[in-house]
Structure 1
Amino acid sequence: MPSNSATVPSAGPREVLALAVPAFLALVAEPLFLMVDAAIVGRLGVVPLAGLGTASSVLLTAAGVFVFLAYGTTSVVARQVGAGSRRGAIEVGAGGVWLAAGLGVVGALVVGLLARPIAGVFGSSPAALDQAVTYLQISALGLPGMLLVLSATGILRGLQDTRTPLAVSVVGFGANAALSALLVLGLDLGIAGAAWGTVIAQWGMALALLVVVLHRGRGVGASLRPHVGRVVGAALDGAPLLVRTLALRAIILLTVYVAASFGDVPLAAYQVTTTIWSLLTFALDALAIAGQALTGASLGGGDADGARAATTLMVRWGVWGGVGLGVIVLALHRVIPHLFTQDPQVQAAIAGGLVVIALAQPLSGYIFVIDGVLIGAGDGRWLAGSMTLVLIAYVPVVALARALGEGHGDVVSVVVLWSAFTVFMLLRGACMAWRIRGDAWAVLGAERPRRS
C-alpha cells in the first residue's frame, strides 16, 4: 500500500539543485521555443513580428494573471507534504485543476470574441493589428490547456517533482517549434500557422500532465472529483496572487503600450528583447521554483530556520547567476539580433535594449528568488499590496520614458524604455528586501491562515 506520509526535505544545496536544475531546464524550454516562433515569424517581415509582439503580450497576460494556479498550488501542496499528508496535498491541488478548467474556458471566450478591441488597445499600426488579431483568435483555443498545465505543474512542484514538468515541457515545446516551422514556412500559413502549432502543443502538454497527476492521486487514494469547497479554497488562496500578478501585468502592458506608440520598429525590437528577457527570467526563476517548494515544505513541517537557511543560499546563487547571465548577454548583444531579423534598424534597437537588460540581471536574480520564497510561504496578501504600490509608482516613470524616447530614434526609444523597466525592478527589489528581513512571512503549519 502506498504511504500517505511524506518526508520533509532538508533545504541544503543538494535539495535546492535537485529541484532547481529540472525546473531551470523546463522554464528555459518555453522561451527558447518562443524564440524559435519569433525567429520563424520574423522571416515573414517586420509587420508580422510586430503583430506577434502585440498578440504575445495579450496571451501572456491572459495566462499570466492566472499564474497563481501554479504558484499558489505549489505553496498549499508543499505545506501538506511538509506536514506529512501526500493524499491531502493532491486533493487540495485538485481544486486548482478544476478552477483552471473553468477559468480557461471563460478566458478563451473573452480573448477569442474580443480579439480586435483587446489588441487595438496597444495602438499598433493597422497592418500589425490584423496580424495580431489572426494570432489571437486561433491561440485563444489553447488557453484552457495553458491554464491546466499551470495547475498540474503546481501540484507536481509541490510534491517536490520538477522532473516530470521538464519532460513534458521539452516534448511539448519541441513539438510547438516543429509545427510552427512546418505550418508557417512549409505550408505557407503565415502567422496563423504559428498560432495553430501553439494550440496543439498546449493541449498535448495539458493532457500528459493530468494523466500523471491522476496516477499519483490514485496511488495514495486521493479523490480528484470536483469539490466545491476545494475549488472555492483554491480561488481564495489564489486571489492575492491574482492581484499581485494583475499589477505586474499592468506594468508590463504599460511598457508594451509605450513601445507601440514609438512605431513598428521599436515594437518589433521590444518583442525580441522581451523574449530574451523572458529566457533570462525563467533561467533565474528556477531558484524561485525551488524556493516555493522548499519554503512551503519547511514551514509546513515547522522548520522556519530551514526556510531561512535555504533563502540565504538561493539568494546568493540568484545574484551570482544574474551576474553570469548579464556577462553573456553583454558579450553577445550585437550577435543575438541577427538571429531574429535582417532589418538593420530593428537589429540596432534590439542591441541597445540588450545592454540595459544585461546590466539588470543581478537585481533580477535577487528579486525572483525572494518572490519565490514569499510565494512558497503563502505571503500573497503582502505581495499583492506591495506590487500595487509599485505599479502606482511606475506610472510616472513610464510616462517620462515615453516623453524622453519619442522622436529621438529607435535605439534611444528602446534603451529608455528598458531603463524605465529597470527602475520598476529597483522599486520591487527594495520592497522585497524590507519584507524578507522580518518574520511575518514565516508562518508555520500545514495551512497558512488566509488573514495572516
Structure 2
Amino acid sequence: MLSVQMTGVPAKQVFGLAIPALGVLCAEPLYVLVDTAVVGHLGALPLAGLALGGVVLSQISTQLTFLSYGTTARTARLHGAGRRAEAVSEGVQATWLAILVGLVLLAAGQLLAGPIARALAGNDEIAGAAVSWLRIALCGAPLILVTMAGNGWMRGVQDAVRPLRYVLAGNGISAVLCPLLVYVAGWGLEGSAVANLVAQVISASMFLRALLAERVSLRPHPAVMRAQLGMGRDLVLRSLAFQACFVSAAAVAARTSAAAVGAHQIVLQLWTFLSLVLDSVAIAAQSLVGAALGGGEQRRAKGVAAQITLYGLIFGCVLCAVFAAASGVLPHAFTSDPGVLGEVPHAWWFFVALQPVAGVVFALDGVLLGAGDAAFLRTATLASAAIGFLPLIWISLAFGWGLTGIWTGLSLFMALRLATVLARWRSGHWAVPGAVR
C-alpha cells in the first residue's frame, strides 16, 4: 500500500477525472433505464421490442469503442509528452472516422433492420415492435459515434467536465421528452425512439462546436486514421466478442418468452448501468496511465494501476450490498407485468453477486486500454467468450434453462476475464513508455 501512495497520484486527481466521467458514462444507460420504465408500462410486447431494438443499437457503440477508448489512449500519451496540438488532432481524425462509419451504418441499418429483428426475435410481433423503434433510432448512428470520438479526445487531454455538460444536456432534454411523446402525444414505442434521436443531435452538436474552438487543422489525415484503425482493429475484435455474447443472450431470452426477454432487458440494463459506474475510475486510469507512459513515468503508471484496482474492488462490494437490499423493490419501478416480474429473480442474484468481480475487471480493462494494450485485451476477451459465455447460452436454449442458463454463462465469462487481466497486470508487460506505442 505504501508503494501505491508513493508512485501513484493523489486520490483527488483520480476522482477529479472519475466523477465527471461517471456522469458521462451513466447518462446514456440512465436514460435507457428511464426509457425502459416508460415503455415497460405499455406492456410486455413494447418492452420486448425495446429490448431487442436497444440491443442492436447498443452494438454500434460497443463495436466501435476505439472511437472513444482508443482515442483516449493515443491522445493521453501525446498530452503527457506535452504535444497538445497533436493530441487534439487525434480527435479530429477520430471524428472524421465517426462520420464516415456512422453514415455506412445508417444506410445498412435501414436495409437490414427487419431481417435482423426477425432473426433475433423468433416471433413476428416482437420483431415488428423492434423494427418500428430501430428504424427511427438508427438515424442517430453517426451522431452517437461523433459523441464517442469527442469523449475520447477530451478525456485524453484530461478535460472531463465539458463532456459531462454536453451529454447531460442531450439526455436530460430527451428524458423529459420521452414520456411526453410516448403517452401525451400518443406515439407509443416510436415516441421513445424519437426522444433518443433528439439526445444524439444535441450532444453531437456540442462536441463538434468544441472541436472547432480548438483551432487545429480539420483536414483529414489518412495516415493518422490508419494508425487509429490499427488499435481499432483489436478493439473491434474485442467488441465482437461482447456483441456475440449479448446478442445471443437476447435471442435466447426472446425464444423463451416475451416475459423472459422483458426481465432480461431490465436486469441487463441495470448491469450495463453499473458496469459504467464501475468503469468511471477506469476512465481516469486511461487518461492518467496514458499520460504517465507518454511522459516516460512507468513507476507512476503502475502506481495508478494499483490504485484503480483497489477502488474498483471497493465500489463493486458496495454495489453488491446495495442491489441485494433493493431486490424486492427495484424491479417494480420498471414494469408492473406479473410475468416479467416472475422472471426477474432468475437473473437478479447473478447480477448482484458479480459486482465485486466486475469492479476489478473493468478497472483493469481501463488500465490496459490506457496503456494501449489492446492486442492482449482482444485475445483475452475472445477466449473468455468462446470458452465461457457462448457455449452456456446456446446449451441453455437446448435444455430450456432460460435466464438462469444465460446468466450462468455471463458469470463464467467474467471469471475468465478476471483471471486474464489480473495475470497481465501483475506481469508489468503492459507498461511500455513513449508518446506513441
State the TM-score, normalizing by the size of structure 2: 0.96
Name the structure 2 match of 1:346: 340
The residue type paired with residue 14 of structure 2 is V
**Cα shift readout 1:19-55 (whole Å, capped 9, x = no counterpart):** 1111112212221111110111112110010011000
The answer to whether the Cα contact below 8 Å between 1:124 and 1:263 also exists between their aligned partners in 2 is no
Give the Cα–Cα distance (whole angstroms) in 2 for the partners of residues 113 and 57 of structure 1.
17
For 2:162, the equivalent position in structure 1 comes to 164
Output the aligned Cα RMSD. Answer: 1.4
Q: Which residue in the other structure is 1:359 paired with?
A: 353
Q: Alignment identity in percent?
A: 36
- Following superposition, the deviation at residue 201 of structure 1 comes to 1.1
Q: How far apart, CA to CA, are the structure 2 residues paired with 1:45 and 1:28?
A: 26
Confirm or deny: 8 A CA contact 1:73 1:151 kept in the other structure: yes
> What is the CA–CA distance in structure 1 between the aligned matches of 2:405 and 2:237, rounded to whole Å?
28
How far 1:404 moved relative to its partner?
4.7
CA contact (8 A) 2:393 2:405 kept: no
Distance 1:299 1:196 in 2: 43
1:53-452 correspondence to structure 2 within 5 Å: 53-215=51-213, 217-218=214-215, 222-394=216-388, 395-406=390-401, 413-448=402-437
Distance 1:348 1:303 in 2: 53
Alpha-carbon shift at residue 400 of structure 1 (Å): 3.1
Q: Is the 8 A contact 1:390 1:427 kept in 2?
A: yes
Give the Cα–Cα distance (whole angstroms) in 2 for the partners of residues 53 and 93 of structure 1. Answer: 32
8 A Cα contact 1:99 1:234, kept in partner = no
Distance in structure 2 (CA, Å) of the matches to 1:189 and 1:78 = 44
Which residue in 1 is equivalent to 2:35? 37
How far 1:399 moved relative to its partner?
2.7
- CA positional deviation for 1:128: 1.0
Q: Cα distance, 1:414 vs. partner?
A: 2.1
Pairwise CA distance, 1:381: 1.1
Deviation at 1:348, TM superposition (A): 2.4
8 A Cα contact 2:133 2:189, kept in partner: yes
The answer as to whether partners of 1:405 and 1:417 remain within 8 angstroms in 2 is no
Deviation readout 1:176-222 (Å, 9 max, x if unpaired): 1112111111101111111111111101100101111221x22xxx2
Counterpart residue type for residue 162 of structure 1: A
Residue deviations 1:377-429 (CA, integer Å, cap 9, x gap): 011111111112112113322233334544xxxxxx32332122111100111
User: 2 CA distance for matches of 1:314 and 1:404?
Assistant: 40
1:95–1:227 contact (8 Å) kept in structure 2: yes
Tell me the SS of whatever aligns to 1:122.
helix
How many residue pairs end up in the alignment?
Answer: 430
Q: SS where residue 114 of structure 1 aligns? A: helix
CA distance in 1, matches of 2:371, 2:181: 44
TM-score, normalised relative to structure 1: 0.92
- What secondary structure is seen at the aligned counterpart in 1 of 2:45? helix
Q: Distance in 1 between matches of 2:380 and 2:92?
A: 29
In structure 2, list runs of 5 or more residues that go unmatched.
1-6
Gaps of 5+ in 1: 1-8, 407-412
Supply the AA of the counterpart residue of 2:392: V
1:36/1:124 CA distance change after superposition, 3 Å: farther
- Any conservation in 2 of the 1:123–1:261 contact (CA below 8 Å)? yes
More moved, 349-358 vs 206-215: 349-358
Output the CA distance in 2 between the equivalents of 1:123 and 1:194: 20
Aligned to 1:3: none
Q: Distance in 2 between matches of 1:402 and 1:367?
A: 28
Instruction: Judge conservation of contact 1:39–1:340 (CA < 8 Å) in 2.
Output: yes
1:437 maps to a residue whose letter is R
